[in-house]
Amino acid sequence: MEQVEEGHDIFESLRTKALLKQDIYRKTLSSFKLFRSIIQEMVTGYHTKYNGNPAPVPFESRDTGEFELELKFGGDVLFFVMHTNIFEFSRMHEVMKTTYIREDSDRSYCGVINIYNFLADSFKYNRVNDIGYMIGRIFINKDLHYFIEGKREIGMLYHNFATSELNREAVKGIIESSILYTINFDLLTPPYEEVKQVSVYDMQTSIENQKIPTGKRLGFRFQADQDEFGR
């Protein structure tokens, strides 16, 4: 009889954890669809502004998969990518020390939407060695509360986790902040000493395979990048 009870506890734990993760997955997917919807509204609004005339600067979106969304503007591309798995923060993470998590440990399980920035020309010219940057990642829990780890311009302090709900207004703010950050995240020339030598092979194949990589901060190290997630 005791063995049955122990087995029941195991199966109940399995069921409870699975239901929790499924619920968070559905809410993360719903949030990702909200990102897609608002981005499309922004694209439509941008082109409406010019009354059907050609826009001076590209601003367009493209679905690259069920869990991926591309937003291209000017010379940049933002990728919004939803991870299909659910994660928990490590015990050492500061968010685990908050009252919000201590009151309900299930709140520490989150879905994740990552935001990456690439140069548009990297894809246009198939420069497979070019560098992109994660500018933020959004954590979403069972309460539809969220916080962002990322660059200061779009990041949120973890102690706002208890009060920040990922609604339409919040999603629009994240998208706009990501665009503004990207616009101001300029392409800098790398140090001369790092690019002054190029092999014959690299030069011969650069047009076909683009062996010489390009990135907005290639060869540079920002103070903000020395600290995890730009803090």
Residues whose CB falls within 8 Å of the CB of residue 88, separated by 6 or more in sequence, listed in order: 108, 109, 110
Tens digits of residue pLDDT in 31-66:
999 999 999 999 999 989 888 788 889 999 998 889
Tokens standing for residue 31 = 């949030």
Predicted local distance difference test score (pLDDT) of residue 228: 39
How buried is residue 118: exposed, middle or buried, by Cβ count under 10 Å (0-12/13-18/19+)?
A: buried
The reported pLDDT for the residue numbered 226 is: 40
What pLDDT is recorded for position 200?
Answer: 67
Q: Which residues pair with 145 in a beta bridge?
A: 165
In Å, how far are 38, 107, 114, 175 from 68, measured between CA atoms? 14, 25, 10, 15
Number of domains into which the chain is organized: 1
**pLDDT, tens digit (0-9, with 9 covering 90-100), for 113-137:** 999 999 999 888 888 888 888 999 9
For residue 19, what are the domain limits?
2-230
